[in-house]
Each structure stands twice: as structure tokens, then as C-alpha cells.
Structure 1
Amino acid sequence: MRGRLLPVLLLLAGALGALTGCDSGPATTATAVTTAPTAPPGTGAAAGWVPSDPALADVCRSRLPPQAAATLALIAAGGPYPYRADGTEFQNREHRLPRQRGGYYREYTVVTPGSADRGERRVITGSAGERYWTADHYGSFQEIDVRC
């Protein structure tokens, strides 16, 4: 039995490594994927992360500013948030995110050191668990890859 188990464990370890690997280089364009995420990012299913829209660039969570990591932690904890507008509906008026029904997206401020107001940085979340980053107040978005 042990002789059969070792090759299976090695195969599983290799597959897990392939699923959780992430390019540590600059943000790249996501490749086309035909399957939907099996669970929202941040729920323990990070290995199954799938971009929601192949047309959007993605960025590794570890490459975001530390304030974005703090915002993501607050979102995971359910708050409290530093601004009253945090957690309110993001209407996607610019149509830069995948089109969804009203109320699908929520926005959260990413604190900008030295800014006298909320600044331009935000994390946008989708109801299915996807996370997006913008550093230019909705001018552009990158989907946050939670695997890295």
C-alpha cells in the first residue's frame, strides 16, 4: 500500500504546486479560462482562483500597496471601515468591470498616505467573491489574484 501511496502523493503535490503558482513579476494579462470560480477568493479556495474576465489584467495581492492589504483584511473581517462610503454599491458606470446586475459590486477605500481626502485608490468586490484594484479612481482596474 505504501508503495502505491507515495506516487499519488507526489502527483498531488505537483498538481497543488501548479495550481498555487503565481508569476512574481509585474502584473500580466489574464489568459482565457472557460470555467467559473468554484468558491470566492479568500475563502480557502485560493488554489481554484480563476479570473472573472480574461480581458482584465491581474495583479498578485502581494504586489499591492500595504494599505490595500489592510483594506482586504477589513473586508474579510466585515469592517469597521475608515470611511462612511466603504461598503456602498459601486455602480460600474464606466463599464470597465464585467457587466453585472445592480448591487453586484461594492467599493472600499484604500487609504492613501498624505492624502487629505479618500484619494483615488479603491478595492471593488463582486458578489461572487472577486476583488478588483484601481489606483486611479476607476480609470483602470486589475483583478486581484489571491494566490500570490
Structure 2
Amino acid sequence: MTTLATGATLALALTLSGLALPDANVWARESGTAVVAPLPTVPLADLPAQAQATERLVRSGGPFPYEKDGIVFGNRERLLPRQSRGYYREYTVPTPGARDRGARRLVCGGRQPRNPDACFYTDDHYASFRRVLP
């Protein structure tokens, strides 16, 4: 077993035991299967006020201020847990002072958009995500 694979195995074991490091995001290949530690988390109350307001809009079904809010998020970066196409939807989190939609998004997944299974926040236009805790 390689050192990277050993580290991933340790990260996975810590995660399953509830002792995962909050910023752990370890990839490894063992027998051709990728292993990844869970995404870091953030309490909803610790997100910017605009993200909290967007989350409330998601749960109420809108209306949303941007035309692209609610479109399918393809997860092309493969940073979120793998799901079937159409599972994730993205919503703009307004950035004060930005002239466009900015880089902040809330991506929520689930069969019922008003009652998502999970939401993820990015402030760097999909380069990284944190799972939002209620």
C-alpha cells in the first residue's frame, strides 16, 4: 500500500469514527477505486447573510433574483458526492459590490428542490465546497 493510500485509509477510518479533520480532502487510488474524505462543513449561521437569505429562498421556492437560479448543476468538477444528473441545482449568492453574479453559489441536492437533502457553499466559483450544516 502506498503512503498516499495509507493516508486516505486513515482519513476514511477517522471519518467513519466521527473524528475526521474538518479540512481533510484526501484522494487515493486503491485497486482502481478513488477514495475521498468528506467535504469540510460550515454551519449555516456562519455563512454570509446573503448565503443565509439564499438558503431561505431555496426552502420557500423563490422567487429568485437571478434568471439562472435553480438550473441544474452538473458537478463537472466532481467535488460533490456523485449523483445522477439533475440532482444538484445551483443558486447565486449575491456578492456586495459585484457587477455580475460573482463567484458565490449555493448548490443544493435532492429530489424536492424546496426540501434539499444537502446544500453546499462555494465562494470561489466551484473550486471548493463546504457542506452547509443546519
Give me the TM-score of the superposition, normalised by structure 1. 0.63
Runs of 4 or more, structure 1, over 3 Å off, are: none
Q: Report deviation, 1:54.
A: 5.1
Within the candidate set 110, 119, 122, 1:131 is matched to 119
1:96–1:140 Cα contact (<8 Å) kept: yes
| Corresponding residue of 1:120 | 103
Percentage of matched positions with identical amino acids: 48
1:144 aligns with 2:127: no
Letter in 2 for 1:70: A
Question: What pairs with 1:34-73 in structure 2 (closer than 5 Å)?
Answer: 55-73=38-56
1:132–1:144 Cα contact (<8 Å) kept: yes
* Matches of 1:80 and 1:134, distance apart in 2: 21
Bigger Rg, which one = 1
* Matches of 2:108 and 2:91, distance apart in 1: 8
| Corresponding residue of 2:72 | 89
* Matches of 1:62 and 1:114, distance apart in 2: 22
* Matches of 2:38 and 2:120, distance apart in 1: 13
Letter in 1 for 2:122: T
RMSD of Structure 2 on Structure 1 (CA)? 1.6
Give me the TM-score of the superposition, normalised by structure 2. 0.69
SS of equivalent to 1:32: helix
* Matches of 2:119 and 2:51, distance apart in 1: 11
| Corresponding residue of 1:10 | none
Letter in 1 for 2:40: A
1:106–1:125 Cα contact (<8 Å) kept: yes
Unaligned runs of 5+ in 1: 1-30, 35-52
| Corresponding residue of 2:28 | none
| Corresponding residue of 1:45 | none
Considering Cα pairs closer than 8 Å and 6+ residues apart, tell me whether 1 or 2 has the greater RCO.
1
Letter in 2 for 1:75: V
Unaligned runs of 5+ in 2: 1-13, 18-35, 111-115
